[in-house]
Structure 1
């Protein structure tokens, strides 16, 4: 291994790597989820139901899910670090076009393309951490990367929601683009250049035969769909009676996303103390119970419920993403499959649950979320037993 590789996989590179990959996560999630805070405004402009407005969010997630495999296959011919830089730069270049698009169908098309372009970030980031850092530090850094995605989701929603409340949703998306550009610059400056590790012989075959990989993908699909649905439609609930809150106040609710960032950054310690399976089980329980807590028509209980949902989801995602990457033994394919499941949940299930909300309101939505949580818990109990965790 060259000197740069050895240094990159040591402790000296940890701090800048954490900041760089956290910034990449911020770019991806700010661009993907900033629009979520604007769904009520987009719905008003185009006279859409909540579930139809959610298609603007889902289009980006579906583009991402479809493009993950092409990005992962490209990583077999090009350096993962180079591809990550391409994905970040292309995302920033494309971002202003979303705000400039006129008409619903073109908007959905550009959002789909945006998702496909930024797919390179979640498809390759966690695997590339294994090139930059040794195994213990890479696992810890994966939690910080997920924390960066949480900050991206929060900052994108807060910036978009605040500017949208003061101006319009197009101006809000321009503001998100500026935020992402700053984070992209941090990634490009700080990410280290290292000698990348080749896949272990037979790594893909062994990973795909491991039922834990498929179980973790199923958990990602179910719980990401549930999580996105909560944030897709909570704004509609709070804007309408009995709450009738103004847009700017509804935007402030997204501050609870900070709980996800803090949780993701600390999951490494929880795993070291309790083990992966126990942390996954606790996270599933928390996400499901949090949804139940949002049922009363009381704003404080809704906020508390959102905090619990967010903590549970990000704890689950931080553990699962790092676990899949480790099971892949350096191959990007298992992580790509996890990412596909994750964003199919966001794009398909997150939208489909809007039909439940359209028809039965928040109570019906929570009932389905509890069913999904029970299904995820059953799958985890059956599929995560093998081997030491």
Structure 2
């Protein structure tokens, strides 16, 4: 620190330039990406999404199967800070249910008793990461003082669905599917594209002809109808885990052709370079040449393509689940939550049921903006 403080401005600038010109390709990409504010904000949003999906059962105040018939189609619960002019911290009131002349539900707060919102409260048991058994939730409702044994109202941050289930909790738990299936599908299609496109571009000949015709056949089908047709072929009554696996396979099996063609074109352009020919003359195996010499040459472009392909898969999974061809009860996803929005009257009376759309839009835009930032960062001419 003392040594650095004695450096002149010219010496500091010279050291900075030396670090810049000796930096690796990934180091230069990171320098450019940090200057792309929208991409960094998107990366932070995606980090929050995946972190909340990882700890969804702990953060969610209700379990996946918890419901209250009294709170069917209940609006979002209001969280208050003051009661009768005095500060009480975060709390809620219980809800009294009445009906209007058209038999529509009317929920009205009963302000006689307050129910504090507390952190790290006991609730529905769950398994964190599928391994650790616990019943502690990040926040929930405490019993009011002096009225132990009284049933506390349900905290519905985003309101309730038709069966009286907490929409906020189901959005968090559903993010485990809606954010994981597209990511796994994109990674699988990424590997398939590198392997199949690499074989097509590196070896050429009959293998190239067969692979290109196969890509043309797959690409000729409309994506969404083909997804729907394959999803409809999933046997009914199978476990949620197997449905998860099937949907992941379907999405990845139909998403690799575009990237495979890009990989093929890159291999055709690079396989006759001097360093590749030298490796062949030196007796290096084809697999080593592909993985250590060819693929790293355009890995940054592949990562950008991977990032930009995930939004399409998020929309695909949401669309399939919305149409009843994706995840099925008792599992949930953002598409499953939107099934109740198929009715216009349901949306008009319960507009909070459209809240999952906001999360879908945020996730899609975040991946797109991050992909744009990575694309600009990997461009050597910018």
TM range (shorter): under 0.3
TM-score by length of 1: 0.27
Which structure's relative contact order is higher, taking Cα pairs within 8 Å and 6+ residues apart? 1
TM-score by length of 2: 0.28
Between Structure 1 and Structure 2, the one with more helix by share is 1
